[in-house]
Amino acid sequence: MSRSPDLVEGKVGAGDRPISTAEIHLEKGRYRARQAVTPADVEAAQRMRHRAFKGGAEGIDADAYDARCLHILIETRETGALVACFRLLPLARGDQIDRSYSAQFYELSALADFNGPLVEMGRFCIAPEARDPDIQRIAWGALTAYVDEAGIELLFGCASFAGTDETAYLDAFAALKARHLAPPRWLPRIKAPKIFPFARKLARVPDMREAMRRMPPLLKTYLAMGGWVSDHAVIDEEMNTLHVFTGVEIGRIPPARKRALRAAAG
C-alpha cells in the first residue's frame, strides 16, 4: 500500500500521539466500546481487520497510520470477545488533511481551508461471524460521544464497495451522483491512477431500491447523516475495493438523526 512521505516506517513511532485527548468508553446491552490502551489491544484490532478484509484468513492488517490513530474496540461484556473495531485519526484543522490516510488516494487541497477539528474514521470492520445489528449501533454511539467530546466539525473517510467491478454498483453510483456529491468548495480532485469517474460517465436514472440494496452499510449511515462523496471512486486493487471519499459536516446533520445518535451514545 502506498504511504505518504511523512508516514514511512521509521518516521512515525508509537510515541506519536493523536491530537485529541477525548477518550471513549461506552457500555450498552451486551457490548462495550473502548479505546485500545496496550500494544496487544492494537494487534487484536489488526488481526480482526485482516480476517474481515481477507475473507477470514489469519494475519495482520497494519500500516504506518496505525501509530497515529486511536483504535476503538467493540467487545462483548460477558467474555471480552472482540466483535468489531475501527480507528480514528484526529486533525486539528483542514490544513493537516494531507496527513490522512485518504489523502493517499484523493487530492484534498480544497479541504485545507476547513477551519475546525476533523477526524478520519477508517478500517471499520465487524467480525465475519457476528450478525447482531447492535454492534454497529454501539460503534456509532461511541463515535458520536467522541465527536461531541472532541468538538469535531468534520467526519471523513473512505467508504468501500466490495470488489473492483463498478458494473455491479451502477445504480448506487448513479444515486450518489444524483443526490450526494460534495459541495463544489470541498470537492476532492483526482489523485489515484485508477478511478471510476461515475459523475462524468453515468447518465442513468438510478433505481433507488437497487441503489440502496447495493450501497455499503457504512456509506448508507454516512448519507443518512447528510454526508457527501467525491465525484469519482478509486479502484484499490490491493484492498480489492472501490471506494469514495466521504465527508459529514457535523453541523449539518439533521436534528432527528443527531438525537438518535446521541441516544445511542447515552
10: pLDDT strictly greater than 90 = no
Single pTM value for the model: 0.90
Q: What CA–CA distances, in Å, run from 176 to 50, 197, 202, 215?
A: 29, 12, 11, 10
Instruction: List the chain domain ranges.
Output: 5-265
Beta strand extents in the chain (DSSP E only): 25-28, 31-35, 70-76, 82-91, 106-107, 118-126, 154-162, 189-190, 195-196, 228-229, 233-236, 241-249
CA neighbours within 13 Å on the CB side: how many for 60?
9
The confidence band for 56, taking pLDDT boundaries of 50, 70 and 90, is: confident
Q: Which CATH class is domain 5-265?
A: alpha beta
157: pLDDT strictly greater than 50 = yes
Rounded Cα distance, 118 and 103, in Å? 14
Single-letter amino acid, residue 128: P
Q: How far apart are the first and last CA of the chain?
A: 38
Query: pLDDT (tens digit, 9 = 90+) per residue, 100-146?
Result: 999 999 999 999 999 999 999 999 999 988 989 999 999 999 999 99
Q: What CA–CA distances, in Å, run from 208 to 35, 179, 205, 228?
A: 37, 11, 9, 17
Strand 241-249 versus strand 154-162 pairing type: antiparallel
